[in-house]
Amino acid sequence: MRLEARAEVSRTLQVAAPFAAIAVTLVVCSLLVAWSGAPVGGAYRLLLEGAAGSTFAISETLTRATPLIITGLAVTVAFRAKLYNIGAEGQLYAGALAAVGVANAGLSLPTAVVFPLVVAAAMAAGALLLIGPALLKTRFHVDEVVTTLLLNFIALLFVSMMLDGPMKDPMAMGWPQSVAIPEELELGKLAERSRVHSGLLIALALAVVVWIVDRFTAFGFEMRAVGANARAAAFAGLPVQAVVLKTALLSGALAGLAGAIEVMGRAGYVTLDMSPGYGYSGIVIAMLAQLNPLGVVAAAIFVAGILVGADSMSRAIAVPTYIADVIVAASLIAMLVASMLARYRIRFK
């Protein structure tokens, strides 16, 4: 048995791959649901109802999807240029911390001045956290998977130090948290009595902007060319190192912005459990979307629905919420296999 590259990758196979991956994931995970003693059909029905069965459920899913869309875009941009950014989680926290710090430092300034400064600081913090691994990759060929992954732990330890020290809210009891962001900098709600906020509109706009950059600009072409074959791109005269560094700045800035929007739109302050792995989930979302910025929106809503629906399902029947993490992880593996089978056919001779 061997794999043979297809002469031409069918558009139908490319479109069908994510749906096939999701179907296989649900079938495989149904075995785990049955193993827990719960009815499979009932469990998935409760999961669907918890994610989209009411106005409240939909608003919660969209609230959870907002940071996932932006971290998914951050990973998509980096992976386009074969820059494997596994550090979006740390970049998100760096952006959130920078946003809170600048917001409270500029209390005496008008909101119209502070707001762009907060956003810029968050994006700069995320970008700076990725530019180091990008430089190590381009100058010394250091594996960015290792450096970005390890920087997540460094970033979280730094956040922990700040929450226990200079940025700790003196009024907070017990669990450490930062000082709150000023109310005038909070993002507006899109619906009454819900947590869904205008950060969702920002995330959707970013998806469109990144898609336009990817498809219709010289920088987008350079990213795709470097990602397809860096040596060929260099031979053609493209500045490969510069493209990788610009990609790192954009990817890190997006992840940092996700942290700022999460603070300004939902949390209000930084805590160590502010993100339940949004940065890591962004990798799954980017792969499910096949690195398509517009597909990231659908993939993020799917993953958010699984996470929100699993919480509701676990309260109704004896299925642990960890099934959501299993579904998300299994969908990534299934998507990688489906993408491979879309590009290659199996030969048994």
Is pTM beyond 0.85 here? yes
How confident is the model over 214-232, as pLDDT tens digits?
999 999 999 999 999 999 9
Q: Are strands 2-5 and 344-347 parallel, antiparallel or unpaired?
A: antiparallel
In a domain, 15, yes or no: no
In a domain, 137, yes or no: yes
Is the pLDDT at 342 greater than 90, yes or no?
Answer: no
In a domain, 60, yes or no: yes
How confident is the model over 100-142, as pLDDT tens digits?
999 998 778 898 999 999 999 999 999 999 999 999 999 999 9
Q: How many domains does the chain have?
A: 1
CA distance 326 to 10: 30
Query: What's the pLDDT score for residue 238?
Result: 94
Scored b (16 or more CB within 10 A) or e, 157-174 reads eebeebbeeebebeeeee
In a domain, 349, yes or no: no
> Is the distance from CB of 181 to CB of 169 less than 8 angstroms?
no
In a domain, 130, yes or no: yes
Domain residues for 274? 37-319
In a domain, 31, yes or no: no
Q: Give the closest residue to 22 by CA, choosing from 347, 318, 288, 301.
A: 288
> Is the distance from CB of 218 to CB of 83 less than 8 angstroms?
no
- Domain CATH for 87: 1.10.3470
Query: What's the pLDDT score for residue 202?
Result: 97
Is the pLDDT at 345 greater than 70, yes or no?
Answer: yes
Q: Which residues contact 106 (CB under 8 A, 6 or more apart)?
A: 113, 114, 117, 118
Query: What's the pLDDT score for residue 349?
Result: 65
SS3 of residue 75 by DSSP? helix
Angle (CA) 326 200 183, round 5° = 110
Looking at residue 118, its amino acid is V
CA distance 199 to 184: 15
In a domain, 168, yes or no: yes
In a domain, 144, yes or no: yes
